[in-house]
Structure 1
Amino acid sequence: MTLFEAIIFGIIQGITEFLPVSSTAHIVITQLLFGYTFPGLAFEIYLHLASVLAVIMYFWRDLWNVIQGFFKFIFKQSKEDRVQFYFGIYILVATAITGVLGKLLTDTMGEGLKTPGMIAGALTVTGFALIFIERFHKTGDKNEKSMTFLDAIIVGLGQTLAVIPGISRSGSTLVVSLLRGLDRETAVRYSFLLAIPVILGSSVLALDDFSAEMLTYIGPLNLFVSFVVTFFFSILGIIWLIDFLKKSKLIYFAIYCFVLALLVYTMIDPDTVMDV
């Protein structure tokens, strides 16, 4: 891998991780364009760690409030910490559902998830979901205080679909949260905080893929540069998405998904091996 390619991978991962356009699909497509077949999931997970570091730094106050309130309620049973305790529980519930069902779906379908047809179809579904939630669904008024276990379960099920390249994790959690009646601020906060345990959990499961082979294949400098670039552009992606949601501009992301789906379906050879 060249330094230029490492920078491109970092930019692609950073920008697309939190936008509702599927970072996994973009990484798969970029690999195909550059002709790479990375050993295992290590490099993809490595870049995701840079993205989750960006989330932690950007939402550190929210994260700290949830963690602090969670444990204070356990040990002190204080009413003022009850909301943060249950919000933490809702994060854990959705994460557990995604972890178990996502693993089953991946083990069942395997490489079938990464075919051009599957990616194009998933991007199309993402686009229609974004249009529906913006144009035809009235935003609810639920917040952390009025969320329920059922909300967390359904969001977790929606997030599970993001194991399919082309289904955006941030997009699926955001759409399902809004469908469940969460207000936009709570839906965005919930979606971003959910990314932390999901990505960290995926990293633990992929530890076996981190090896000297990956270091040799990609190169120490390229790994460092791609991590830094991913972190920087993840911050930009977070800021950009929050700004777009305030202006209700999800339709633009939907159009992008449709265009990308068409390009993937018509321009990528379905016989290409996508071992990522």
Structure 2
Amino acid sequence: MNWIEALILGVVQGLSEFLPISSSAHLIIVQKILGIHVEGNQLEFEVLLHFASLLAVTIYFRKDLSDIVKGFFSYLLSRQNEKKVHFHFGWLLILSTGVTAVLGKLFEDVLGNNMTNTTTIGASLIVTGLFLILIEHGVKPGKRTAGQMTWRDGVIIGFGQALAVLPGISRAGSTLVTALWCGLDKQTAVRYSFLLSIPLIVGISIVEIPEMSPLFFNEYFFETTIAFIASFLFAIVGIKWLISMVNRTKLSYFAVYCIILGVIVWIFIQDVQIVI
């Protein structure tokens, strides 16, 4: 992997991480089409890109995150009613993350190597496109805010996020659909979806870090630095872009893109097993 390839993968990961188009599918497809190999260190590289996305969403939602963390622990210590909404929101994020972890592991065990089969990826991209059509033309936004969310919402949205273990199923798309289906308003659904990505990425990183080798970063320091910076900057762009598109009801563009890409992958790269 040279620095240009690292830059391309960083841009792809950054943009697609928070747009409803599936970052995992796009990384697989781009690496396959361009013949990019990360010299047997795919795990280290993906964790690096995920960390850049984590940094981006944490910085962008730093005020919300700070309010939730402070309010969560303040309520535990003081039981002040004005802090209860933050405690409630934080608890729901924990619940959704737990549901995602359990179901995501179950899906991985059941599907095995078929998860990265291009037939599965193509079908999943098409499903993502249908999710996005549902957001704009099927599932009407509700009126419930964060303070009116229940444990059932946390479980259902956690299930929606677990579907994104499949490359091709967009985490943003699936969580938005389930959040809106639960009757949340757009602002709450978008906010919950983005904040829910933080414990998920942290959890993935914690699990994978023990298997990482620091030798990869020493050998490809320049390339990994470029990829990290690109992923971080374009993740910020992706966050702003998605929020704008949801508010302007323009997700159909992404839906058409995902369906067309899914059909292309399914037809032209069918039955190819991609190992990542």
2:10 aligned residue: 10
1:53 pairs with 42, 52, 55, which one?
Answer: 55
Task: Find out whether 1:152 has 2:151 as its counterpart.
Answer: no
**1:7-37 residue CA offsets vs partner (Å, 9 max, x unmatched):** 0000000000001100000011112123226
Name the TM-score, length of structure 1 as normaliser.
0.95
2:206 pairs with 204, 207, 210, which one?
Answer: 204
Name the TM-score, length of structure 2 as normaliser.
0.95
Distance 2:164 2:126 in 1: 13
Distance 1:207 1:101 in 2: 21
Aligned CA distance change for structure 1 residues 133 and 225 (closer, same or farther; 3 Å): same
Tell me if the contact between 1:39 and 1:209 (Cα under 8 Å) persists in the aligned partners: no
1:258 aligned residue: 259
Which amino acid is 2:246 matched to? L
- Structure 1 residue 215, shift from structure 2 partner: 3.3
Instruction: Flag as ranges the 4+ runs of structure 1 deviating above 6 A.
Output: none
Which amino acid is 1:150 matched to? R
The RMSD of aligned alpha carbons is 1.4
Equivalent runs, 1:7-156 vs 2, <5 Å: 7-35=7-35, 36=37, 38-39=40-41, 41-156=43-158
2:244 aligned residue: 243
- Structure 1 residue 133, shift from structure 2 partner: 2.0
Identical pairs, percent: 43
What are the ranges of 5 or more consecutive residues in structure 2 without an aligned counterpart? none
Distance 2:115 2:8 in 1: 24
Distance 1:220 1:176 in 2: 40
Distance 2:130 2:270 in 1: 25
Tell me if the contact between 2:118 and 2:274 (Cα under 8 Å) persists in the aligned partners: no
Q: Aligned to 2:146, what secondary structure does the other structure show? A: coil
Distance 1:181 1:259 in 2: 30
Distance 2:231 2:89 in 1: 28
Distance 1:7 1:140 in 2: 40
How many aligned positions are there? 274
Which amino acid is 1:98 matched to? T
Deviates more, 1:248-257 or 1:103-112: 103-112
Distance 1:176 1:269 in 2: 30
Tell me if the contact between 1:102 and 1:163 (Cα under 8 Å) persists in the aligned partners: yes
- Structure 1 residue 109, shift from structure 2 partner: 1.6
- Structure 1 residue 265, shift from structure 2 partner: 1.4
Aligned CA distance change for structure 1 residues 32 and 9 (closer, same or farther; 3 Å): same
- Structure 1 residue 136, shift from structure 2 partner: 2.1
Distance 1:214 1:274 in 2: 22
**1:215-264 residue CA offsets vs partner (Å, 9 max, x unmatched):** 37x71111111000000000000011111111001111100101110221
**1:39-71 residue CA offsets vs partner (Å, 9 max, x unmatched):** 453321220110110000000000000001100
What are the ranges of 5 or more consecutive residues in structure 1 without an aligned counterpart? none
Tell me if the contact between 1:39 and 1:275 (Cα under 8 Å) persists in the aligned partners: no
